[in-house]
Amino acid sequence: MKTCLILPDRYVQTDYVNLHADRRLYHILNIVSFLIGIAIIAVGWLWKGFDSLVALALRGLSGYLLRVLEFAVCAIAYLALHELKHGLFMRLFSGIRAHHGRKGLLLFTYSEVYFCRRDFLIIMLAPVLIFFVAFAVPAVFLEREWFWLFMLLQVINLGGSVGDFYLAGRALRQPKNALFLSVGVSLTVYTEKNDEKHTDSGM
């Protein structure tokens, strides 16, 4: 089944999840996000230590505040670009402009289009993978003083994408011909009536 603008008549809802309304899931994802952040910081500590941060602090308050400001600007730019990339891939696969919003601490991009599983997986995972490479390369090759700037951006990238990972994992458990409608922070899955492989979650 290909991505489509209108749900085919033979398709019925077989799964549903709301990342914000399901409070248990919401808290679990936040805990996982926190653990991912701790893991990335631990890797950075084992790899290059905190010497560059200590050296930065010893240079004086002005230099330290400047680096904090640089990080804040980069973080805000990343969050905007991450959601824009979701929207870019949604428009690429559907030809329809995507919408953006916020629910609590969750930023989201959505489109009232029924995406096939392949397109939906790309939409969910492409932004985090693109930024993973974009932050990993300078962390490896730039001077040591820039290392933690890009490692902390990686914390936001991977830790902040747990919702995307979760929805991608949920999509992988669906039949290949399933269709996915992502509106706000919710995901609805539709499969053919005669498909016995659909999940019962949310029904």
Tokens, residue 30: 């936040």
CA dist 23 and 5 (Å) reads 31
Calpha distance 189→89 (Å, rounded)? 19
pLDDT on residue 65: 83
pLDDT of residue 200: 46
Write the DSSP string, 167-186: HHHHHHTS-TT-EEEEETTE
Quick one: pLDDT at residue 198?
46
pLDDT at 108: 76
Q: According to the model, what pLDDT value does residue 30 have? A: 94
Cα 63 to Cα 82: distance, rounded to the nearest angstrom: 28
Answering whether pTM is above 0.75, one says yes
Helix (H, G, I), strand (E, B) or coil at 115: strand
Q: For residue range 136-159, what is the model confidence (pLDDT) as tens digits?
A: 999 999 888 889 999 999 999 999
- The whole-number pLDDT of residue 106 equals 66
Report the pLDDT value the prediction gives residue 164, as an integer from 0 to 100: 93
Pick the closest to residue 88 from 129, 112, 122 (CA basis).
122
User: How far apart are the C-alpha atoms of 192 and 11, rounded to whole Å?
Assistant: 4
Q: What is the pLDDT of residue 196?
A: 47
How far, CA to CA in Å, does 149 sit from each of 41, 46, 64, 120?
11, 16, 12, 31
User: What is the strand order of the sheet 186-192 is part of?
Assistant: 11-18, 186-192, 179-183, 106-116, 99-103
Taking the C-alpha atoms of residue 167 and residue 96, their distance in angstroms, rounded to an integer, is 21
Of the candidates 157, 162, 107, the residue with the CA atom closest to the CA atom of residue 129: 157
**What pLDDT score was predicted for residue 203?**
39
CA distance 148 to 41: 9
Sites in the chain below the pLDDT cut of 50 = 195-203
